[in-house]
């Protein structure tokens, strides 16, 4: 049996995992696909660097074109990261008929449609299971597992760093800044944590998930993004008292073919399955019209979990090679993208206000909600022990984002409202 030859772009954490699995599970892989899978060439930045695994030096190269242009190579596994340069390698490889497996969420969120179109043109596979939620096979679940259903909601904890921070804040009553420092020391957060904590990483993953779930090309710019850097210890304490956890959720919703996608800190009722997803774990909750509630849980990152998804894609490409059906992934997106307006985006909201502690204030506040037809599920007023102000905690019934924004604008011009401390979407 002729071996299938793989070129590996990148030998960092995930690349190392890919080599380990392809070598360590070779016998199992051969039993499934019927021929050896060989890593032929590996692109590295520095050939002479000491590495965690042993790769014979004649397989290493610092020249990407030795892989991209190599007629011996059937499949390219891209785990080097980066966007523009990486894209140029992938497009060139596709034009030479090579199949692609990538873990690159940035690339797929920004240039997915272009890359997939190029792949189709050349009869090539492009698979990217590892780009979202590491070891959880959520992409094939959306494409194949729910092919028969109409998915109306996807809620994801798709960033382990922020889930670790929020979990620690919740479990230890700690401050955001302290937990972030700790996460950086442990290697769970980067020195520049912006992409994680401001929700950009999650937004890229939600772009990919919502595109597959709704079968429409959602763009990164369509995602409304808010991170966790303003979540306070008090927010989490209040949430817990009311029976909620604060989670950074990616939320994609569809109603009558109108779609919305956002990333935002959200108060999730403790009884909801996604509320108990803790630490660096990821989970994706999927609601389908027919299937109802489902959830998929697992490690969102890490060498071997992510490599598991990469190599599962590699197995799929090789099976397609054997069957001669590469590049035939039919009907991934066929719906027109119609985005919801703020009038159409509805959810429950939690608000924490600091107000003047005098007669008639609560009446004026609740009147503002009534004016914009936002009805209230619960209202608690309590003295704020540290100030002369009172605190008002409000949970609304389902209300449109537009209406809530109008209420917030009204508060700006009300002198009795000292500050709007927090506004969170509520789920569950």
The yes or no reply on residue 256 touching a second copy (CB under 8 A) is no
Give the residue with the Cβ less far from a second copy, 265 or 298.
Answer: 298
Q: Name which position in 148, 382, 386, 413 contacts a second copy (CB under 8 A).
A: 148
Q: Is 218:334 a contact under the CB 8 Å cutoff?
A: no
- 260-289: which residues touch a second copy (CB under 8 A)? 273, 276, 281, 288-289
Nearest distance, CB of residue 115 and a second copy, angstroms: 20
Spatial separation of the C-alpha atoms in residues 221 and 116, rounded to whole Å: 19
Torsion of CA 294, 428, 278, 174, to 10 degrees: 170
User: Mind giving me the DSSP string for 326-359?
Assistant: TT----S--SPP-BPPTTT-EEEEEEEEEEE-ST
The yes or no reply on residue 308 touching a second copy (CB under 8 A) is yes
- 106-145: which residues touch a second copy (CB under 8 A)? 129, 135-137, 140-141, 144-145
Spatial separation of the C-alpha atoms in residues 305 and 315, rounded to whole Å: 16
Strand order in the sheet with 60-61: 60-61, 37-43, 4-9, 75-78, 99-102, 126-127
Q: List, in sequence order, every residue forming a beta bridge with 155; answer none if it has no partner.
A: 251, 285
Active site residue 270: no
- 203-232: which residues touch a second copy (CB under 8 A)? 215
Spatial separation of the C-alpha atoms in residues 57 and 183, rounded to whole Å: 35
Q: Is 157:283 a contact under the CB 8 Å cutoff?
A: yes
Give the residue with the Cβ less far from a second copy, 71 or 292.
Answer: 292
Catalytic residue among 105, 118, 168, 205: 205
Give the residue with the Cβ less far from a second copy, 148 or 413.
Answer: 148
The yes or no reply on residue 156 touching a second copy (CB under 8 A) is no
Q: Name which position in 325, 336, 380, 409 contacts a second copy (CB under 8 A).
A: 325
The yes or no reply on residue 328 touching a second copy (CB under 8 A) is yes
Cα Rg for the chain, rounded, in angstroms? 24
Nearest distance, CB of residue 132 and a second copy, angstroms: 13
Which residues does the annotation mark as catalytic?
Answer: 205
Residues that bind a second copy (CB under 8 A): 17, 20-21, 25, 28-29, 31-34, 129, 135-137, 140-141, 144-150, 215, 273, 276, 281, 288-299, 302, 304-305, 307-312, 314-316, 319, 322-325, 328, 330-331, 334-335
């Amino acid at each position: 049996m002729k071996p299938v030859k793989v070129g590996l772009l990148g030998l960092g954490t995930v690349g190392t995992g890919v080599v380990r699995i392809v070598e360590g599970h070779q016998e199992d892989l051969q039993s499934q696909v019927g021929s050896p899978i060989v890593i032929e060439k590996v692109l590295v930045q520095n050939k002479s660097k000491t590495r965690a695994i042993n790769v014979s030096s004649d397989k290493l190269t610092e020249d990407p074109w030795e892989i991209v242009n190599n007629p011996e190579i059937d499949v390219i596994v891209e785990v080097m990261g980066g966007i523009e340069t990486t894209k140029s390698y992938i497009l060139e490889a596709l034009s030479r008929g090579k199949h692609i497996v990538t873990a690159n969420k940035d690339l797929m969120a920004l240039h997915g449609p272009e890359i997939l179109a190029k792949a189709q043109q050349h009869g090539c596979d492009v698979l990217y299971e590892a780009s979202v939620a590491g070891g959880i096979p959520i992409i094939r679940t959306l494409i194949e597992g729910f092919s028969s259903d109409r998915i109306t909601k996807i809620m994801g904890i798709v960033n382990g760093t922020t889930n670790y921070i929020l979990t620690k804040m919740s479990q230890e009553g700690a401050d955001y800044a302290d937990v972030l420092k700790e996460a950086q020391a442990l290697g769970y957060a980067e020195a520049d944590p912006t992409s994680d904590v401001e929700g950009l990483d999650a937004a890229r993953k939600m772009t990919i998930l919502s595109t597959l779930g709704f079968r429409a090309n959602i763009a990164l710019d369509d995602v409304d993004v808010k991170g966790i850097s303003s979540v306070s210890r008090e927010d989490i304490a209040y949430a817990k008292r009311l029976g909620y956890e604060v989670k950074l959720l990616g939320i994609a919703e569809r109603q009558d073919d109108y779609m919305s996608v956002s990333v935002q800190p959200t108060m999730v009722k403790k009884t909801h399955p996604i509320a108990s997803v803790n630490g660096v774990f990821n989970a994706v909750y999927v609601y389908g019209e027919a299937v109802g509630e489902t959830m998929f849980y697992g490690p969102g990152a890490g060498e071997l979990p992510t490599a598991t998804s990469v190599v599962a894609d590699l197995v799929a490409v090789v099976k397609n090679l054997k069957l001669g059906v590469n590049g035939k992934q039919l009907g991934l997106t066929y719906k027109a993208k119609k985005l919801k307006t703020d009038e159409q985006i509805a959810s429950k909201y939690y608000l924490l206000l600091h107000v003047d502690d005098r007669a008639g204030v609560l009446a004026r506040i609740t009147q503002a909600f009534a004016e914009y037809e936002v009805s209230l599920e619960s209202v608690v007023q309590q003295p704020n022990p540290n100030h002369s102000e009172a605190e008002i905690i409000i949970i609304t019934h389902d209300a449109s984002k537009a209406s809530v924004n109008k209420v917030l604008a009204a508060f700006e011009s009300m002198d009795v409202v000292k500050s709007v401390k927090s506004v969170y979407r509520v789920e569950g």
